[in-house]
A and B are shown apart, each in its own frame.
Chain A
């Protein structure tokens, strides 16, 4: 009896102690943070004609070589790892993302699906790592194409292909594969895929094989961002032994090889398990047939990807060392606190994701440009970014993000100016006694980063004018989207990350019909189409600036902020490149063996 009693007593005491330790420990850690001294790495990219991309500042010895290619002045980054200490054989990466449909370029259209396509596949051209622009011709470098020419009218692109490239199963890559991949995407025309979403069939007329190693694209329209379009993951070359014309390649349990039609890239997806329709584990192993393996890529031969339920869990996992790398999604507050945590390294880069505020023009008084201008003027974007994102995003004053061709700061004219807001509203018939009443909606289920917090700041700023009264309303993503389509939200925010990294994929947001804000401006559309048809960078810049001028006047939607890009790794990991091209290049990652 004594023993039993002792057991019960011990259990009781142990549990009480556990809860006390947990409570006190949690409080202590929450309030104290951890020790100081940390590493925050900011991407450095020189902007000389032949860019030098600084991949690392530590061992192993990294040689950066710049090479002039046949057509462009794009940089080629070569990392030599023959010297220096041994690198780790395997890295574990954690993420909260998951493949949404499949890994078939003909249908995949989600961030993570594209990430895996990027690392296991290849296409004609690549965007140079560390690109400061993501859009200019000088950022495009050869991949499966060694060089290319463009016709004077901008409607014909001829690509000469790399010879001797092999698919994973040993078959040689030729011009037929390029034609097959693009034709397949256009023919299958998956409703929810990028081919339909971006409108490939509106741009590409035909793909012609003019030799075993030469392919010609005939376009329907002159399309200046064509090379960027070719660099995007929808244009990746599929292995036709896996990707047939019968339909898209979907996940097959237990067989990663036939679940992924991409195998020309640095890695091969050797194992992929999904549990209950969500990714559980992926294994990437170095592709023995990779065409650039002579340059030493990938630097880490084996990468295991594990999937976490949410940003908090992922942050905790990287802190505890359960994963070597955490990429997407992490909370701003976690990133901030990890900057002072010596057990991890925080990588900061430029992001291409933006958010903007929209006005429903079918609901008065938001059909009045003065009201829209007034609301924009009452906002203080910098304050929101500092408060909500702790400075980890930047205010945006044009729909084209900073660092990209055509970006301006024109919306500064309608920012942080409550006096202007008050006077504009007075002209529209509103004052302190007759306040403008706004119903402002935000997405409440985490589809966009920290939307409720953003909304609270916007409300406070608008009400600070004394002439605006804001009612906040939240809706989860499915409801929010439905509300957008039924046009019942007077003021709301929306977000965008690009398909191809070019201003062409941003500017149309001002009047996009699928956003349902009912703004039309044929004059601006004409300028946009003119910019689309010219490859003259100076002219494009000037045309986009003209569009921005009109948009500051009309304020159909108001740019708010541009997100940063973040990764957190163990201190030993290096090679993280976070640039505006938003490409997560796993083949550049490495860690020195301790």
Chain B
């Protein structure tokens, strides 16, 4: 199979996967006790009024009809309206996604760079004190819950030292980065670090980084443990292989041997892990966003579950599903690039 037909097949396979995910979520949230109409009424409510309200939300229709309606909407690109505040779910998701994406990009970069560098370092001093320390750090950081680490970081760096803000995405006293503005035309990515640079404001860029620091440190640290372990064990195996010995024998610099030869070979399983960890990254982002009041998709999902906002939960989960599917597709394609022997 050529790479092209592989990609086409993978994309087509994504459709039943998303459909299955959607059906499961559709059913599970409806099995959970409590319904979105009822939750609008904390206080007194007449049964007739509740019935009218259910009608307004379309909850009076039989389940299969609701399901087909939703799918039909989805096919036309409409994720429906929130059952809590009635605004379009698609709009809500896209308003939250840049925050999550920015957090995810920086955290993943932090986790991968720190994880791989430390993993390589540990493998090169096998069974020595640096190796043991790094392994220990890897285990601890992998085991520590992100919300706990986040809270500790806030107390130390936010309150005790006062270096970083305790939460939120940007300084409320400064206008948020607006991106590039040319006349009436505006280019903004929603990623504050990028938008502040587009705007040409280094102050805003520095402020964005300051607000990103603690959430990224928390989420990145928790995720880097797995990369340390993977890199270390793969590097240990690779460094023992003949081609490494022969490279050394040919007098190639050790740095080149380790990074250009061994690491590239050891990288394939690490790449697999990156793909798998992306789902963990999104899951971790849910908790990180809550801990740092980061206005992203994770916090959205958590809030909407408490409201039993069916359309919003379905929309967010489908969106997550598509993102994870896309990332795993990209990882598969990267395989071929890294290892020309791979055929699909």
Contacts and interface: CB of A to CB of B under 8 A. Distances in A.
A214 B39 CA distance: 40
B290 interface: yes
Contacts of B33: 475, 478-479, 482-483
B203 interface: no
A277 B300 contact: yes
Nearest to A24: B156
Contact of A18 (B166, B217, B254, B312): B217
A360 B167 CA distance: 43
A514 B44 contact: yes
Contact of B155 (A26, A445, A485): A26
B153 A478 contact: no
Contacts of B118: 8, 11-12, 15
A277 B173 contact: no
B166 A250 contact: no
A478 B32 contact: yes
A476 B306 CA distance: 8
B250 interface: no
Contact of A22 (B35, B87, B152, B294): B152
Contact of A478 (B253, B289, B308): B308
A309 B296 contact: no
Contacts of B35: 478, 482
A102 B166 CA distance: 29
Given A310-B290, A316-B159, A19 B166 contact: no
A251 B49 contact: no
Given A192-B41, A281-B172, A316 B130 contact: no
A320 interface: yes
A191 interface: yes
Nearest to A310: B290
A9 interface: yes
A312 interface: yes
A322 B291 CA distance: 15
B2 to A, nearest CB: 39
Given A92-B173, A478-B308, A25 B299 contact: no
B333 interface: no
A16 B49 CA distance: 59
Interface in B295-318: 295-297, 299-300, 303-304, 306-309, 312
Interface string A276-318: 1110110000000000000000000000101111101100110
Contacts of B160: 25, 29
A101 interface: yes
A316 B34 contact: no
A246 interface: no
Contacts of A196: 49
Nearest to A496: B43
A197 B44 contact: yes
B261 interface: no
Interface in B154-182: 154-160, 162, 165-168, 172-173
A151 interface: no
A276 B296 contact: yes
A390 interface: no
B114 interface: yes
A321 B161 CA distance: 12
Contact of B156 (A8, A22, A280, A512): A22
B44 A316 contact: no
Interface in A467-514: 475-483, 485, 496, 499, 512, 514
Contacts of A12: 118, 121, 130, 133-134, 137
A1 B260 CA distance: 13
Interface in B71-85: 82, 84-85
A44 B52 CA distance: 47
Contacts of A313: 154, 166-167, 291-293
Given A25-B156, A322-B166, A479-B33, A276 B87 contact: no
A320 B137 contact: no
Interface string B28-59: 00001111001111011100011011001000
B338 to A, nearest CB: 21
A309 B96 contact: no
A310 B154 CA distance: 14
B221 interface: yes
Interface residues of A, number: 69
Contact of A512 (B44, B120, B297, B307): B44
Contacts of B91: 253
A445 B130 contact: no
A337 to B, nearest CB: 12
A466 interface: no
Contact of A322 (B43, B168, B290, B312): B168
A29 B141 contact: no
Given A277-B312, A278-B303, A320-B159, A191 B121 contact: no
B140 interface: yes
Interface in A87-141: 90, 92, 99-102
B143 to A, nearest CB: 12
Contacts of B134: 12
Interface in A1-34: 1, 4-5, 7-9, 11-12, 15-16, 18-19, 21-23, 25-26, 29-30
A416 interface: no
A275 interface: yes
B86 interface: yes
Nearest to A319: B159
Given A92-B173, A309-B291, A481-B38, A316 B53 contact: no
Interface in A52-84: none
A274 interface: yes
A7 B292 CA distance: 29
B255 interface: yes
Contact of A485 (B38, B295, B312): B38
Contacts of A482: 33-35, 38
B221 A15 contact: yes
Contact of A4 (B95, B159, B255, B299): B255
A251 B92 CA distance: 12
B299 A309 contact: yes
Contacts of B236: none
B155 A25 contact: yes
B99 interface: yes
B300 A15 contact: no
Please give me the 5 A-B residue pairs with the lowest Cβ-Cβ distance, nearest first.
A478-B34, A276-B96, A276-B300, A8-B121, A479-B33
27 contacts: A8-B118, A9-B130, A11-B118, A12-B134, A16-B133, A21-B156, A22-B149, A22-B153, A100-B85, A197-B44, A275-B99, A275-B300, A276-B296, A277-B82, A277-B300, A277-B309, A280-B295, A281-B172, A306-B172, A313-B292, A317-B165, A320-B162, A322-B168, A445-B306, A476-B306, A478-B32, A514-B45
Given A19-B221, A197-B44, A323-B172, 13 more contacts: A12-B137, A15-B137, A22-B157, A90-B173, A253-B95, A275-B296, A276-B95, A276-B296, A316-B166, A320-B158, A445-B306, A476-B306, A478-B38
Interface of B: 32-35, 38-41, 43-45, 49-50, 52-53, 56, 82, 84-87, 91-93, 95-96, 99, 114, 117-118, 120-121, 124, 130, 133-134, 137, 140-141, 149, 151-160, 162, 165-168, 172-173, 217, 221, 253-255, 259, 289-297, 299-300, 303-304, 306-309, 312
